[in-house]
Structure 1
Amino acid sequence: MSRIAFHDDWTLQTTAGSTESITLPHDAMIGEKRSPGAVTSFHGGFFPGGRYLYSKTWAVPSTTNGDRYRLHFEGVQGLTSVRINGNETATNVDGYREFAALIPEIEAGTQILIEVDVDNTQQPNSRWYTGSGIYRPVWLETVPATHLAIDGVGLRTIGTGTSTGLRADIAVSRELRRPGFLEIEIAVLDGSDIVGEATASLDGSHAQLDLDIREPRLWSAATPFLYDVRIRLLREGLLLDERTERTGLRTVSVDSTHGLLVNGAPVLLRGACVHHDNGILGAATLRVAEFRRVRILKENGFNAIRSAHNPASRHLLEACDELGMYVMDELTDYWYQPKTAHDLAHQFDRLWRDSARSMVAKDRNHPSVIMYSIGNEVAETATPRGVATTREIHNFIHDLDADRPTTVAISLTGNAFVSFGGKLPGPKDETKTKSRSKAVEVPPDTTPSKASDSFLTSTMFNVIADRIGPITQRIARSKRAGKYSRDAFAEVDVAGYNYAWSRYHRDAIDHPDRVMVGSESLVTDLPDIWREAQKVSAVIGDFLWTGWEYLGETGLGTWTYGSEPRMGIQAPYPHLASGSGMIDLIGVPGSEMLYAQAIWADDDSPRIAVRPLDAQTQRTRKVLWRLTDAVPSWSWRNQTGSPATIEIYSGADEVDVLINGTSLGRKQAGPKTRFLTRFHAPYQPGEVTAIAYRDGREVGRSTLTSAEKGKLRLIHERSDARGGSVDGIFVRLEIADEHGVVEMSDDDEITLSVAGPGRLLGFGSAAVTTEFSYSENTQRTYRGRALAVIQIGPGNESVSITASSTRHGSATATLT
């Protein structure tokens, strides 16, 4: 079976009547006009819903050899109907589930019309920005009469050490009228060298082959070595189908004594929770964007990603395989109790098996995936029905993949509230039994629980936690919280603790066989979390909220100033993003990232950040999901003499700060100050230096400098993507001096133009509040930076990009 990317020459038509030519993957929502009254509200960043018709004509090859053709969709957001020449061939409702549409048998050489009707009008359908349309890749597959089944190759590592091998489970879809034996040939390749091979005959539709690997090289996040596995299906020597899978040899196990073992070696997870959007690209899943994100996360100290709160894209998993990053892949954010007005909770009992099956089929050959999460903050786990559901999903996934442990991420505080009868008025209109559009017929809802009797939702828990602050941990470690999470935790391999690190020590005693992971935690709590994770063997690591900034859930981690309006943790339009990212929307690490590095680090090097000099004198409204608003910069134009708060993050005993060589005096640092030491002084341009001391001896120093006269510059990033096509080029725009120092308080409007066979896919800044659209060619920098993504057309012709600013000149770059 061959497959080709089916991304070019599509036409998009909206309900507003606009038509444009597009290339997939594509997020139709990100270009829509935002407004204060938009139906996605703060959940989705104030975007409207919409209905979209994607269409494309395709000529059936003149020679088909009896083969059929199939479209494989990795993800479509919205209720979806796929039509071939006007006839519906496939439907889908779960935006994160992969699905296929078999093209009917049509005469060779015939032109056919492919239409994908996507209805995403019913909003909000999630607690964060989801995007709309065909946002993940689509493939055209040639399907012989007898072929390797969809995701019909399962690869498992067997044995250990020098005897490590590979087990291949092969499923074949065969032509009924041609019984008899088929042959399977498998070769494992290290580059061009065959290091393992096996053959087998099969009379049915399944085969299992074990392969010894010569001088096996194991995969881990530290040493991400991958093999190519070539599978060939033959009949009497004639090749019927062929496929190549890329995988690594890796074992994983967990227990309360040894924690997490990868290839028999202990691993402590330094995890980032990551939503699926790509910032200025919206939800569009470009391979180059996923590789870039994983590379930046790893460079900043993370070794694991939790795909919050939905199955990760294949491109993300490929990046994690290639670059070395562990993955907890998560099934869903809801079970049968809704969290937003138009999520799919009312269909959960009908949908979850297909969604879980799709996730496991996608994940099982990726060595980066070490664990499945079966749900996030599902308060149903406090009830007998929820415990039964936990058991059922766990068993279902283990039947599909027995090698990876499962977890369920529980808010123990939320479960304690539910145990008191903590039910709240839920979203409305969840229980409609008719289709939301003519595109898809939705079967009647058979779920007994109704939205009007909804449990405490994750959003409401966030509101309560922000108000009561540290009391959240008191509730989380209460006997009641333990009692009403105990039974669900007993049904999975690893207990997922959301915001409940204070239970680790006690639960390790009370439940000696329980393995625990911090499935979601605050950066503020990291000193305590990391101390406990290193002390308690049953704790295998932690995932911070949140590693990478995301669209929607506006205000969750945003500090506001002066008279800026907000509604608790919810920030109104024109807020766009959550504000809780340790790395911002355009991939720049912030102060909280530096803080985590100081806690994780093996060295005592001090890290420097400064509270914004243009905001810190104003009344500040803080939120629980952000430790600090400091910025890693000493470049604040026109702020000479303004009071500056300098934050130093270090694990050393003491730190000192020098401003232009003048010492502010040593202060205590390290665990006793929770790795954060503050200094106060009038701002003076020049340089600020932090010096760390241990036992009175200098052990590290770092310096930030002020920018001289800045001008606009473009930086063409080279692609991190390996083994695939480059589907976009990232270009950083900075207002910086000749030494590359970026100015924080001299932002400017910039207009981009693209010459040659290229087009602008996205353009924007890291600002969490903006009225600019990422689809426009004019933007305003934020803290001196912006980012553009350019798509390059086929051929060898170069593309030129020119950026023109109002006050900082212009710059040009040639992209190839």
Structure 2
Amino acid sequence: MTGDAMGSGRRVVPFTDSWTIDSTGAPRRAVDLPHDAMLAEPRSAAAPSGSHGAYFPGGRYRYRKVWQAPADVAAQRLSLRFEGVAGRTRVRVNDVDAATWDSTYREVEVPLGGLVRAGAENVIEVDVDNSAQPSSRWYTGSGIYRRVWLEAVPAIHVDRHGVALTTRRSGSDATVRVGVPVLGDSEDGDVVSAALFDADVTVARATGSVAHGVAQLELPVPQATFWSAERPHLYELALRLARHGRELDAVTLRIGLRTIEVGPEFGLRVNGETVLLRGACVHHDNGVLGAATFRAAEFRRARLLKDAGYNAVRSAHNPLSRDFLDACDEIGLYVVDELTDVWFRSKTAFDGADRFAETWRDDARSMVRKDRLHPSVIMYSIGNENAETSTADGVAVARDLRAFVHDLDADRAVTAGVNFMLNAIAARTGMKADTTPPKADGTQNRPSWISSTMINAIANRLGRLTQLLSRLPGADRATRDVMAELDVAGYNYAWSRYEADGRRYPTRVILGTESLFGELPEIWSRVEPLPHVIGDFAWTGWDYLGETGIGTWEYDAGRRSSLLAKPYPALVAGSGAFDITGVPGAPLALQRAVWGLASVPAIMVRPVDLTGAKVQRTSWRSSDAVASWSWSGCEGRVAEIEVYSADESVELLLNGRRVGRRPAGPRAGFVARFRVPYEPGELVAVGYRDGRETGRSSLRSAEAVSLRLRSEAAAIEADGDDLAFVWLELADEHGEVEMCATDTVSLTVTGSARLAGFGSAAPATEESFADPEHTTYRGRALAVLRAARGAGVTEIEATGAHFGSDRLLVQVIEPSGQRY
């Protein structure tokens, strides 16, 4: 935008390049946004974030950008829109304070009127303080981790972030009602016209006059194509604001037409059709990229989840990014967007519970304004495992939150993730809000021992007894009042209540908002036949940083830890169906079998190189088996093989020899287990129903392993933000990866891209994702390249200490404007 004539029309442009940053102990350096300032920090066992924040220290960061404003800038209403900043934030423009806030996931618009010097250089400074740790129960990152936009709008303009839309369906036809708020000195009689486009075809038009700052329009759409996860069809809605025939403003929005209903008799209906949610909980970080939110990474993650068989995601436990919601709209995923993990009772020392009463309205307003034009968003969640909901004060908060959200968006249901055992314990111990005053050193709002973290540790020890405790009368008494305030009752780890609660509370609609993978066979056998239960969300669909090791199986740990989280240098949670690089594991194979989505048996093998070692399991991972039969050096060791299938039985063959045949399907928990001495070659699984073969799959051992580079895309776009995901694999010429091979690899990236992140899915490491050298884990590492602003070719060269080297060219092409 630098040097461009602004004109009198609307412009929204990225304000992400040519920033600098400095922090304590680090020199000033150039950065482009989005940027996770925490990712490059040195981790240590003494870091204040502890296991919650993956042992990162946190800090204070000063961003600075010099911007040459156009000469005609005074004709515009200018603002900066921050999609997300992790830490206490202060924005200054030309040494004048412009805005302050302290909410990691809130979008904030900073007006620039009167602060910008036209035709001159302007200094934008953003001070971010994220030194008070732990600030969350997971890794948040630090700094300006989501995008920033410079918005220039006319003096009288459409509030594009405030446009509201509802769809009514009548057979194959739709009626679209659009509320268009107008800001500035609008006059009654100003006119807003709307045109709905399907590709290049106009399918509906309408006109409405502005009254009291809003124009209400109604567009009849005959033979509408309705949006669903199965058929994610999108339209374009063009809005034009005019006065006496003269255009004042114009915006174009992408929308989807769909209807949502929930009821105990029929469950969840989308466009009149019953839908069961096959859900994945997801955190907001992007693995080796840290918390930095890139559109390409969000689309990649959504696409992999959809291709795996999920049809829904629950954000955990904070609002999703705009880019992820765009991906869900385009790819087809239903979204339960969640507001927060914390109400007025702390779970960690600096998680913002002390200011919740002051901030929740602004946070909720931000989430709804961001979400309500996205057809993928079908439900809002107002909280997660807030033990306050066992008290009258907490129930009142739920009532106020639900009413507030419905005032902003009456068309979507409201839920919350409620943990029955947590509430029962909180009620029994007489939980009260923490009124401890702040200490002189700033430490405040001491975390309650009655917390999600504590309950997770107990549940991990108790295993199946958790379901028994959740069914006790005390658990019902501690949850029924808050459930009465929700449109959909969110059950965390309480699936054994589904049938009885359907009888006890006949108007209650239930959603499994959080569950364990290993319990899915029993969960889904309840979800399918009970109309008042609308689906299940597993913890988690994608692994994440922080909450270190809650899903990691440890071998020969020495002694059994009394805590669920693992000590430094543990890095990831280890609980994902996909690891942080995007490789699926056994939990996903189980889900696909239970859901009936697997056309052939899925073979998974527990680590053969660890056979015989004492293992410490965790409830948050059903199995640590992986899809590989390449375990060099393990010949003769007993291999434990898990074959996931909905078939009646599965036969296993090793190098053409019959190993055995075992029951599978529902009667065996959808998994057939085998033990056989490992030998290289080919492992084949054959599924049978009614005595007939239904399908087969195989795994093969790697031969002649070397370091190989493989890019997921041949070309990326030269817009400064697009990403290339490049795999470094210790594999043979057929792509078979060797599990027992390890190498330390150095990268050199030249040309029209730079290295944005590099690492592996290792559950514990002292290496940094910000360094150009990393050690492979189970034969793999992932490098992410960020495109420059300028077309060309990028060369990536990888050199290993043991397995040779490889080089790869990635084309960086001119932006098309239609990347996704």
TM-score when normalising by structure 2: 0.95
- Once superposed, what is the RMSD of the aligned Cα atoms? 2.0
Identify which of 14, 17, 26 aligns with 1:8. Answer: 17
- Which deviates the most, 786-795 or 81-90? 786-795
Identify which of 365, 371, 395 aligns with 1:387. Answer: 395
Report what 1:443 is aligned to: none
Report what 1:788 is aligned to: 783
Letter in 2 for 1:31: A
Rounded to whole Å, the distance in 1 between the matches of 2:627 and 2:729 is 15
Identify which of 176, 185, 188 aligns with 1:166. Answer: 176
The Cα offsets for residues 107-147 of structure 1, whole Å up to 9 and x where unpaired, read as 42021100000000000010000000000110000032111
Report what 1:70 is aligned to: 79
Quick one: percent identity of the two aligned structures?
49
Letter in 2 for 1:510: R
Report what 1:370 is aligned to: 378
**Which stretches in structure 1 are left out of the alignment for 5+ residues?**
437-449
Secondary structure of the structure 2 residue equivalent to 1:396 = helix
Q: Compared with structure 1, are the counterparts of its residues 487 and 655 closer, same or farther at alpha carbon in structure 2 (3 Å cutoff)?
A: same
- Which deviates the most, 275-284 or 657-666? 657-666
Check if 1:716 corresponds to 2:711. Answer: yes
Letter in 2 for 1:91: T
Identify which of 744, 747, 752 aligns with 1:752. Answer: 747
Rounded to whole Å, the distance in 1 between the matches of 2:702 and 2:47 is 40
Secondary structure of the structure 1 residue equivalent to 2:806 = strand
Secondary structure of the structure 2 residue equivalent to 1:167 = strand
Secondary structure of the structure 1 residue equivalent to 2:78 = strand
Is contact 1:292-1:720 (8 Å) kept?
A: no
Identify which of 209, 228, 232 aligns with 1:224. Answer: 232
Rounded to whole Å, the distance in 1 between the matches of 2:789 and 2:149 is 18
Q: How far does residue 371 in structure 1 lie from its aligned partner after superposition?
A: 0.4
Secondary structure of the structure 1 residue equivalent to 2:161 = strand
Q: Give the count of matched residue pairs.
A: 800
Rounded to whole Å, the distance in 2 between the matches of 1:470 and 1:615 is 27
Rounded to whole Å, the distance in 2 between the matches of 1:710 and 1:392 is 60
Is contact 1:653-1:670 (8 Å) kept?
A: yes
Rounded to whole Å, the distance in 2 between the matches of 1:456 and 1:388 is 20
Report what 1:470 is aligned to: 464
Identify which of 563, 588, 595 aligns with 2:583. Answer: 588
Check if 1:314 corresponds to 2:322. Answer: yes
Q: How far does residue 17 in structure 1 lie from its aligned partner after superposition?
A: 3.6
The Cα offsets for residues 593-637 of structure 1, whole Å up to 9 and x where unpaired, read as 111111111556211111101113111111111111111100001
1:313-462 equivalences in 2 (<5 Å): 313-421=321-429, 423=431, 431=438, 451-452=445-446, 454=448, 456-462=450-456
Q: How far does residue 423 in structure 1 lie from its aligned partner after superposition?
A: 4.7
Check if 1:638 corresponds to 2:646. Answer: no
Letter in 2 for 1:467: R
Q: How far does residue 718 in structure 1 lie from its aligned partner after superposition?
A: 2.6
Report what 1:446 is aligned to: none
Report what 2:200 is aligned to: 192
Report what 2:118 is aligned to: 108
Letter in 1 for 2:125: E
TM-score when normalising by structure 1: 0.95
Identify which of 34, 48, 54 aligns with 1:39. Answer: 48
Report what 1:21 is aligned to: 30
Rounded to whole Å, the distance in 2 between the matches of 1:723 and 1:344 is 39
Rounded to whole Å, the distance in 1 between the matches of 2:597 and 2:544 is 30
Rounded to whole Å, the distance in 2 between the matches of 1:364 and 1:390 is 20
1:148-167 equivalences in 2 (<5 Å): 148-149=158-159, 151-167=161-177
Secondary structure of the structure 1 residue equivalent to 2:192 = strand
Secondary structure of the structure 2 residue equivalent to 1:454 = coil
Is contact 1:342-1:430 (8 Å) kept?
A: no
Secondary structure of the structure 2 residue equivalent to 1:580 = coil
Letter in 2 for 1:168: V
Q: How far does residue 150 in structure 1 lie from its aligned partner after superposition?
A: 5.4
Report what 1:692 is aligned to: 687
Check if 1:514 corresponds to 2:522. Answer: no
Rounded to whole Å, the distance in 2 between the matches of 1:225 and 1:180 is 35
Secondary structure of the structure 1 residue equivalent to 2:159 = strand
Report what 1:181 is aligned to: 189
Q: How far does residue 480 in structure 1 lie from its aligned partner after superposition?
A: 1.4
Rounded to whole Å, the distance in 1 between the matches of 2:291 and 2:576 is 17
Q: How far does residue 149 in structure 1 lie from its aligned partner after superposition?
A: 2.2
Report what 1:649 is aligned to: 644
Rounded to whole Å, the distance in 2 between the matches of 1:409 and 1:554 is 22
Check if 1:620 corresponds to 2:600. Answer: no
Q: How far does residue 590 in structure 1 lie from its aligned partner after superposition?
A: 0.6
Rounded to whole Å, the distance in 1 between the matches of 2:801 and 2:437 is 49
Rounded to whole Å, the distance in 1 between the matches of 2:124 and 2:506 is 57
Report what 1:293 is aligned to: 301
Is contact 1:11-1:19 (8 Å) kept?
A: yes
Q: How far does residue 179 in structure 1 lie from its aligned partner after superposition?
A: 4.5
Rounded to whole Å, the distance in 2 between the matches of 1:390 and 1:719 is 49
Identify which of 563, 568, 577 aligns with 2:557. Answer: 563
The Cα offsets for residues 319-339 of structure 1, whole Å up to 9 and x where unpaired, read as 000000000000100110100
Identify which of 200, 210, 219 aligns with 1:202. Answer: 210
**Which stretches in structure 2 are left out of the alignment for 5+ residues?**
1-9, 812-820
Report what 2:732 is aligned to: 737
- Which deviates the most, 197-206 or 513-522? 197-206
Secondary structure of the structure 2 residue equivalent to 1:221 = coil
The Cα offsets for residues 67-100 of structure 1, whole Å up to 9 and x where unpaired, read as 1310000100000000001111011101000001
1:227-242 equivalences in 2 (<5 Å): 227-242=235-250
Report what 1:84 is aligned to: 93
Rounded to whole Å, the distance in 1 between the matches of 2:305 and 2:49 is 29
Is contact 2:798-2:806 (8 Å) kept?
A: yes
Is contact 1:78-1:94 (8 Å) kept?
A: yes
Identify which of 519, 528, 533 aligns with 1:525. Answer: 519
Is contact 1:657-1:665 (8 Å) kept?
A: yes
